[in-house]
Amino acid sequence: MRRLEWLLALPVIKIGWMFLKIGLLFFGGGYVLIPIIHRELVLGQHLITQQEFLDGAAISQLTPGPLAVIATFAGYKIGGVVGALVGTIAVFTPGTLLMLFLSHSYARFAKQESVKQVLNTLIPAIAGLLVAAAWILGKESIVHAPGLAIFALSLVALIRFRTSPAILIGAAAIIGVVFKL
C-alpha cells in the first residue's frame, strides 16, 4: 500500500492517471474536453493558468490533430516532453479501447434506438457545457473592443463560411502584433 502511494506521487504516474480519468469522458466530438480540462486543471488543481489554457487550445487548433491534443500541451507544462507524451496517450486510451470494441461489432450499435436517444439528450447537454465554458473563458479574455470584434468575426467565419480555425488563429496573431493589442 505504501509502495503504491509512492508510485502515485511520481509526476508521470500522476499525469497519466489524471488524463486517463479525463479521457473516460472523452466523447461527443472531443470538445467536451474544454469544460472538463478547464475545470480539472485550471480551477481545480491550478496546474495551468486560464491564459495558458486558452493559448494551449489555440496551439492545438494549429495542428491537424483533434482538439484533444490540448492534453499534449497541458502534459508538457506539467512534466516536459515525457509529460506531454504520457498525457496524450492517457487521454486517448479509454476512447481508443471503446472504439476498438465498437469497430468489432459496429453494425449493431450504429442503429440502436437507445444509442440515438441517449445522444439526443447528451449532445445538447455537452453544447450547454461548451457555452458555459466559453462564457467563463471569454469573460476574462475578451475585455476590449478589438477582442470583441475578432470574436464576432471569427464566429461568423467559422459558422457561415466554415473557415479553418488554424487560419483564423494565424490571422488573429498577426492582427495582435500589428495593432499591439
Partner 1 sequence: MKNTPRREVSLWEIARVFAVIGITGFGGGLAIIAMMQDICVERRKWLTLEEFTHGVALGQILSAFAVNTSLFVGYRLRGAAGALTAACAFLAPSVAGVIILSWLYFTYHHLPSMQSALHGVSAVVVAVVISAAWSMSRSRLKSFETPILAAAAAALMLFTKVPIPIVLLAAAFYGLLKLRLRRGGANETA
Among residues 13, 17, 20, 28, which is the contact residue for partner 1, using CB under 8 A? 28
Q: How far is the CB of 106 from partner 1 (least distance, A)?
A: 6
State yes or no: residue 109 binds partner 1 (CB under 8 A). yes
Between residues 16 and 76, which has the closer beta carbon with respect to partner 1? 76
Q: Locate 179 and state its grid cell.
A: 495593432
Which residue, among 40, 79, 45, 74, has the nearest Cα to 60 in the 3D structure?
74
Site for partner 1 in 137-176 (CB under 8 A): 137-138, 141-142, 146-148, 150-152, 154-155, 158-159, 162, 164-166, 168-169, 172-176
- Residue 47 phi, psi (nearest 5): -80, -30
Q: How far is the CB of 73 from partner 1 (least distance, A)?
A: 5
Site for partner 1 in 68-87 (CB under 8 A): 68-69, 72-73, 76-77, 81, 84-85
Check residue 27 and give left, alpha or beta (phi > 0: left; psi -120 to 50: alpha): beta
Which residues, at least 6 apart from 88, have a Cβ–Cβ distance to it below 8 Å?
A: 19, 69, 71, 72, 75
Alpha carbon 24 to its chain centroid, in Å, reads 13
Place of cell 462564457: 135
Site for partner 1 in 38-57 (CB under 8 A): 39, 51, 54-57
Q: How far is the CB of 6 from partner 1 (least distance, A)?
A: 28
Between residues 7 and 65, which has the closer beta carbon with respect to partner 1? 65
